[in-house]
Amino acid sequence: MSNFAKVHVNEDARTELHDQLQLTGAEISINNLPAGAGVPFSHHHKQNEEIYAILSGKGQVVIDGETIALEQGDWVRISPAAKRQFSAASDSAMSFICIQTKENSLEQYTMTDGVVDE
């Protein structure tokens, strides 16, 4: 078994990477909303927090009834229980990455988990 996986992502409406990359600790999806389009439902999670990175364009997310404007370069973390729904602006498409991971599962990061190879 290889120690890495690589995949090329097209500009589909939504691409989930858990199977393609054999992810074991997170779910990552790439999402592309055309101008004026939105996710047709609100949702929340049982245990996974979500981290969103806006790659291009602009739009908004409604979190627990509060509307938050989004634009390229913005990052948003949303707790599992929060209800959320994304939409692109009427005059701009919006592309974003969503990373899901179990809330409170991070035990080590960066230098506490990394080991310098000699």
Buried b (16+ CB within 10 A) or exposed e, 55-92: eebbbbbebeeeeeebeeebebebeeebebebbbbeeb
Superfamily for domain range 14-103? Jelly Rolls (2.60.120.10)
> Within 10 Å of residue 32's Cβ, how many Cβ atoms?
20
pLDDT score at 85: 98
Boundaries of every domain in the chain: 14-103
pLDDT in tens, 47-69: 999 999 999 999 999 999 999 99
pLDDT score at 1: 57
The pTM of this model reads 0.90
Q: Is residue 111's pLDDT more than 90?
A: no
